[in-house]
């Protein structure tokens, strides 16, 4: 009724091996789950949120990316500038390629900062040009973020992937904006 047990074992081993190859390849080249540690992206991304990265997307301005920092830790930040972009900050107003940019994801942090007596979230900096092969990134919680203001430009090859979807906790599940 069951046939040859050796053949059955070999067929199951093939299925398990093929499944393992698919899982490893998917994680290595397409998607990766990541747990977020730290408060630099609050309230957009909160401490201990679990997110899914996509490794095949084209990174654009204002995407959220996870990258390997020079100290070997993975950080999540918002891409403000892509290669060739001109960026400046004046009186908490971001300028991208000479144009003012609205940053609605900063509203809660700005309100909180003013309640704590801070005048600005982000110190002014003169116009810079993002070099080829690099990104300029900032955390949404600008008063509590180690980002390009400290680290400098982030190399494209340091980017692990783009944060696309939050899978935990249950109250935050959904597409990341």
Active site residues: 40, 77
The gap from C-alpha 162 to its chain's centroid, in whole angstroms, comes to: 5
CA atoms of 118 and 150, how far apart (whole Å): 20
Strand partners of residue 35: 50
Question: 157 exposed, middle or buried (CB, 10 Å; 0-12, 13-18, 19+)?
Answer: exposed
The full length of the chain comes to 177
Rounded to whole angstroms, the Cα distance separating 148 from 155 reads 11
Measured CA to CA in angstroms, residue 169 lies from 36, 64, 166 at distances of 11, 18, 8
Neighbours of 23 (CB within 10 A): 10
Q: How far apart are CA 142 and CA 103, in angstroms?
A: 12
């Amino acid at each position: 009724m069951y046939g040859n047990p050796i053949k059955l074992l070999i067929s199951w081993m093939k299925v398990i091996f093929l499944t393992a190859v698919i899982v490893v390849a998917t994680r290595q080249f397409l998607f990766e789950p990541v747990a977020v540690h730290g408060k630099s992206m609050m309230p957009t991304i909160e401490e201990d949120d679990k997110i899914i990265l996509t490794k095949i997307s084209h990174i654009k301005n204002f995407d959220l990316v996870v990258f390997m920092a020079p100290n070997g830790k993975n950080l999540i930040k918002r891409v403000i500038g892509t290669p060739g972009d001109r960026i400046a900050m004046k009186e908490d107003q971001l300028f991208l390629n000479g144009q003012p940019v609205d940053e609605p994801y900063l509203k809660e942090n700005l309100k909180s900062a003013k309640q704590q007596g801070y005048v600005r979230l982000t110190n002014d900096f003169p116009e810079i040009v993002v070099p080829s092969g690099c990104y300029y990134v900032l955390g949404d919680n600008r008063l509590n973020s180690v980002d390009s203001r400290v680290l400098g430009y982030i190399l494209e090859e340091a980017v692990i992937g783009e944060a696309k979807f939050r899978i935990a906790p249950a109250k935050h599940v959904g597409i990341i904006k």
